[in-house]
Chain A
Amino acid sequence: MTSAAPQTGLAVRGKSVSWLGKRLAASLLTLVLITMLVFAATRLLPGDMALMILGKDATAESLAALRAQLHLEDPLWRQYTAWIAGVATGDLGYSVISRVEVAALLTPRLQATLSLIVLSLAVSVPLALVLGFATARREGSVGDKLVLFGSVAINALPEFVLGMLLVILLSTNIWHLFPAVSSLSPGQPVLHQLDKLVLPGLCLVLLQVTYLYRLVRAAVIDVMTSEYFHFARLKGLPEGLILRRHVLPNAIVPAVIAIGTIFAYSVGGMVVVETVFSYPGIGSALTQAVGTRDLPVVQAAVLIIAVIFLISNLVTDALAHSITPPGKGGQK
């Protein structure tokens, strides 16, 4: 097929800007819907929150006082708008259990989680690229099959099993290399306690690499069957240049999208890993808060996770959009 009207660079840029604008507007709308959902969900939790907090022995007066303090008697819409107004000005409220500001409670948790994710991705992305390219070039060989089998096996293990295996292997009497429990010392920056990050980080790296490398491998194999790959060889280009210049830009798109998804998922979805290693992340903070009906914490944590999810999706899409070649679904 001959292509339709060729596009000029300027028109393409204009389209990209309007595409970004649309995505931003859609994300904002999603965010508003999420706040409503979060609010509705927390208010629909069964049981009387005041009773939960004060216990069965609480007097009617103290219960009523607490309800008034938490504005539980107000109409729902007023509670919602009050909460939103607070969020908009950066006031996330107070934890009803520990009586400290929610922001102060969650900030170190979020830092811990983000550090762990960023560090693990910094290891697993290059590793996945190298492994993906190496196995794709030897597709069907014994080495390729072994790595593939190993990666599927690791992915098939539940996270806590993998975590326990690592603990048993690397921090008990087999090889005692790292602390089994990764509870961070408060007040110290996470980056100064790197030894505590090794085990949970390794667990994450294993999970990420095994998934990411398979995407890279499939994309590289796909490119290596393409006409343009063969043509690059017929042109007389050396193998390394072909891989770097002709294969990499086309093979990396699915990996970039997957990195974004992994990042977003990990922020809220690492609860199991955090629990196995007693790592004080935001996921475990959320689970604890749900257990104790600490509603302001639950709401804030879910909102933070949702915002990170949206931002990372937006960034990934924009990135994938900009590296996808025109005529291949790039400009819509």
Chain B
Amino acid sequence: MLKVENLSVVLADGTPIVRDIEITIAAGQTIGLVGESGSGKSTIARALLGQTGAGVRIASGRVSVDGRELLSLSPADLRNACGRIIAYVPQDSGAALNPALTVGRQIIERLLIGPDRLDRAEAFRRVAEVLTTLGLPSDKQFLARRPGELSGGQLQRIGLAIAVVARPKVLILDEPTTALDTSTRGEVITMVRQLTQSMGAASLYVSHDLGLISAVADAVTVLYAGEIVETASAQRLFAQPAHPYTRALLEAVPQVRQKLPIKGIPGQVPDLDARLQGCSFADRCSAVQPKCRESKPALAQQATGRVRCFFPSAAPIRRPGDLGPETVGDHGIVYRVDDLAAGYPTAPRLLDGISLALRRGKCTALVGESGSGKSTLSRCLIGLQPITEGRMGFADAAQGAGLRDSRRMQYIFQDPSGSLNPRRKVGDSISLAARHFFPGEDPRPRVEAALARVDLSPAILGRFPSQLSGGQKQRVAIARALVAKPEVLLCDEITSALDVSVQASVLQTLKRLMDDGLSLLFVTHDLGVVRTIADEIIVLKQGRIVEQGPADQVFATPEHPYTRMLLDNVLELPAGVPA
């Protein structure tokens, strides 16, 4: 059993990052720790093993496993507890495994050190046993491989094997499936559940993915701005969230089950030094009262959990019915791809037989797992990847218009931190695009018009990307695309790096742009987002289209087994009460 009391982690100057964390996990139980970026969930995960990043320290708190306190141990004793008593499963094993060492060495090394080390033969037996449980080979050749020679799913299982091989009493899982495809994710989740149950370990599952947490956790702790705002059983929390933040977060998660209006959370998480006065969520709360700004609510015990709010809700979460398809307006074909292929005919083709049409003011979603060819296709459309067969172009374009049409199709990248020049003010980034496409004109009115369309104030123009939040950066990237007056926007996973609450507001912006007549090709693996925004769906597998059609139809009656598999692997929030 894990008991965390009064845990606070602070910066060197004493500014708290997380405050008064209390978590209790019984043996065999799984608690989900949920929060958006900046909530401090990874800080907590590492602090439970007594570790912090540079310039950060644990100011107070007790972490006890079966009654034994860990944080007051000597460094050597704490080190012996790490891995043996309390173990950590990394977020991205591809990065967390040492590229220079064999995986066998990395799994076994913890067993061969410390006061209760095993002899080599026993340690090897243990490694083989764990690998077999995880469905991995345990022969010498496999153990002699290095991380660069394994697939993502295998690596994640190795990460898991390293954590469980010493049979710890507590398992800290820090987003262990975020980097995986949905099909691999399902396998890893099942294994985690089997392992924790068979070992009787108490596990803390850290994630930003509410659907995932609803599938794995017995109870959930919600984190906001470094504080616990609500703790309850999973059943109660997802059906009847008491804290306004929990409610807003659950409402912001797109559903696959039905097409819902987009609902984000306005505003953003307060800065570290602005969190001490009053309720941290007050500025974004729809039910805020004067009292909320005057004093900070305590984490109060209730009948079915604990909540940090003066005015907790007791109502179940309500969801409106399905919106259904929209058919108003002119939806002529804007852009057409006919029988496109890429790659050499001799080898398995990167893309083959791709035909699609983008309609005015409509969103076409391109879905598929990693390696399905969705990125390759979008790269073909903007000319980054040569095509070997087929035609593509705007419906009204003259033959061979080629790259002269580049203004009409604009590309938005997944990660705005990478696609915006960090040394250039965002205003200059946008006006550079304006001057490129409309030389000799004053770029300013165009820049300001584009900014207004993505709900950013002109005050932002003088800032650098590092001074903006993730959502603001992605809006700047969209504005830079809009300044070219495009007819088609190619969106490559543009919301996957964003928090749910921010993702919703970016989707709202995109929706409004579509109403203005812009066509979207939306590349994503998140079927909830697809359900929310897409009118047409194209399912790609190994470079070929396996299913294509109106969104409602594909979601209601998927025909191809691959589409059904994708839909089955979605981890959905429990349905709310119909409004």
Contact A2 B110 (CB under 8 A): no
A1-32 vs B, Cβ < 8 Å mask (1 yes, 0 no): 11100110100100000000000000000000
User: Is A234 among interface residues, defined by CB-CB distance under 8 A?
Assistant: yes
User: Is A126 among interface residues, defined by CB-CB distance under 8 A?
Assistant: no
Contact A237 B110 (CB under 8 A): yes
Q: Roughly how many angstroms separate A230 CA and B54 CA in the complex, as a whole number?
A: 11
Q: Roughly how many angstroms separate A156 CA and B90 CA in the complex, as a whole number?
A: 44
Contact B82 A226 (CB under 8 A): no
User: Is A175 among interface residues, defined by CB-CB distance under 8 A?
Assistant: no
Cβ distance A66 to chain B, nearest Cβ, rounded Å? 61
* Chain A residue contacts of B90, Cβ below 8 A: 227, 231, 234
Q: Assuming the A-B contacts A2-B370, A245-B109, A249-B100, are A233 and B147 also in contact, with contact meaning beta carbons closer than 8 angstroms in the complex?
A: no
Q: Roughly how many angstroms separate A60 CA and B151 CA in the complex, as a whole number?
A: 80
Q: Which of B91-99, B191-199, B323-331 contacts A (4 or more CB under 8 A)?
A: B91-99
User: Is B81 among interface residues, defined by CB-CB distance under 8 A?
Assistant: yes
User: Is A192 among interface residues, defined by CB-CB distance under 8 A?
Assistant: no
Contact of B151 among A3, A233, A235, A328 (CB under 8 A): A3
How many residues of B are counted as interface, with CB atoms below 8 angstroms from the partner's CB atoms?
46
Contact B110 A326 (CB under 8 A): no
* Chain B residue nearest to A12 in the complex (CB): B149
User: Is A155 among interface residues, defined by CB-CB distance under 8 A?
Assistant: no
Contact B371 A2 (CB under 8 A): yes
* Chain A residue contacts of B180, Cβ below 8 A: 2
Contact B150 A245 (CB under 8 A): no
User: Is A189 among interface residues, defined by CB-CB distance under 8 A?
Assistant: no
User: Is A150 among interface residues, defined by CB-CB distance under 8 A?
Assistant: no
User: Is B83 among interface residues, defined by CB-CB distance under 8 A?
Assistant: yes
B76-119 vs A, Cβ < 8 Å mask (1 yes, 0 no): 10011111100110101011111111000100011001100000
* Chain B residue nearest to A231 in the complex (CB): B96
Contact B79 A236 (CB under 8 A): yes
Contact of A236 among B84, B141, B153 (CB under 8 A): B84
Contact A228 B95 (CB under 8 A): yes
Contact of A228 among B79, B84, B97 (CB under 8 A): B97
User: Is B144 among interface residues, defined by CB-CB distance under 8 A?
Assistant: yes
A228-259 vs B, Cβ < 8 Å mask (1 yes, 0 no): 10111111111001000110011000000000
Cβ distance B125 to chain A, nearest Cβ, rounded Å? 20
Contact B149 A7 (CB under 8 A): yes
Q: Assuming the A-B contacts A6-B150, A231-B90, A326-B149, are A236 and B97 also in contact, with contact meaning beta carbons closer than 8 angstroms in the complex?
A: no
How many residues of A are counted as interface, with CB atoms below 8 angstroms from the partner's CB atoms?
30
Cβ distance A239 to chain B, nearest Cβ, rounded Å? 9
Contact A327 B92 (CB under 8 A): no
Q: List 23 A-B contacts (CB under 8 A).
A: A1-B152, A2-B153, A2-B180, A2-B184, A2-B370, A6-B149, A9-B144, A227-B90, A227-B95, A228-B95, A231-B97, A233-B51, A233-B82, A234-B46, A234-B82, A235-B109, A245-B105, A250-B100, A325-B147, A326-B146, A327-B146, A327-B147, A330-B148
The 10 closest A-B CB pairs, nearest first, are A327-B148, A2-B152, A236-B82, A236-B83, A227-B95, A326-B148, A325-B99, A231-B96, A249-B100, A234-B88
Contact A231 B149 (CB under 8 A): no
* Chain B residue nearest to A328 in the complex (CB): B99
Q: Assuming the A-B contacts A1-B370, A231-B88, A327-B148, are A238 and B79 also in contact, with contact meaning beta carbons closer than 8 angstroms in the complex?
A: yes
Q: Roughly how many angstroms separate A323 CA and B152 CA in the complex, as a whole number?
A: 23
* Chain B residue contacts of A7, Cβ below 8 A: 149
Q: Roughly how many angstroms separate A311 CA and B92 CA in the complex, as a whole number?
A: 41
Q: Roughly how many angstroms separate A187 CA and B92 CA in the complex, as a whole number?
A: 64
Q: Roughly how many angstroms separate A279 CA and B200 CA in the complex, as a whole number?
A: 73
User: Is B415 among interface residues, defined by CB-CB distance under 8 A?
Assistant: no
Contact A250 B98 (CB under 8 A): yes
Contact A235 B146 (CB under 8 A): no
* Chain A residue nearest to B45 in the complex (CB): A234
The residue in A231, A236, A237, A238 that gathers the most chain B C-beta atoms within 10 A of its C-beta is A236
Contact B81 A237 (CB under 8 A): no
Q: Assuming the A-B contacts A2-B181, A2-B371, are A325 and B146 also in contact, with contact meaning beta carbons closer than 8 angstroms in the complex?
A: yes
Contact B148 A2 (CB under 8 A): no
Q: Roughly how many angstroms separate A330 CA and B180 CA in the complex, as a whole number?
A: 25
Cβ distance A148 to chain B, nearest Cβ, rounded Å? 19
Cβ distance A253 to chain B, nearest Cβ, rounded Å? 9
* Chain A residue contacts of B94, Cβ below 8 A: 1, 3
Q: Roughly how many angstroms separate A246 CA and B99 CA in the complex, as a whole number?
A: 9
Contact A227 B99 (CB under 8 A): no
User: Is B551 among interface residues, defined by CB-CB distance under 8 A?
Assistant: no
Contact B100 A236 (CB under 8 A): no
* Chain B residue contacts of A326, Cβ below 8 A: 99, 146, 148-149
Contact B46 A232 (CB under 8 A): no
Contact B110 A236 (CB under 8 A): yes
